[in-house]
């Protein structure tokens, strides 16, 4: 994802794990929103979305 590639999936996970409630939800929504803005996502960007969101999946609401 453009502009997000400097942050690794482990960085996202650590932020979600060690901070206040709701952070996982915001990170999840931000990753999905950034992905949706891509016109033609590459395989790498698809894999990156998976790496960023799957670890957060159980922590977010159904609405996300």
Non-local (6+) Cβ contacts of 54 within 8 A are none
- Could you please report the per-residue DSSP string of 9-60? HHHHHHHHHHS-TTHHHHHHHHHHHHHHT-SS--HHHHHHHHHHHGGGGGGS
What's the confidence (pLDDT) of residue 21? 64
Residue 21 burial by CB count (10 A; 0-12/13-18/19+): exposed, middle or buried? exposed
2 has a pLDDT exceeding 60: no
What's the confidence (pLDDT) of residue 23? 83
- Give the global pTM: 0.64
25 vs 3, higher pLDDT = 25
Q: What is the pLDDT of residues 13-64, one digit of tens each?
A: 666 666 666 888 888 999 999 999 999 999 999 999 999 999 998 888 888 7
């Amino acid at each position: 994802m453009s502009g997000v590639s400097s942050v690794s999936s482990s960085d996202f996970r650590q932020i979600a794990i060690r901070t206040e409630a709701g952070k996982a939800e915001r990170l999840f929504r931000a990753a999905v929103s950034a992905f949706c803005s891509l016109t033609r996502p590459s395989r790498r960007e698809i894999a990156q979305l998976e790496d960023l969101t799957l670890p957060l999946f159980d922590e977010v609401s159904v609405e996300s």
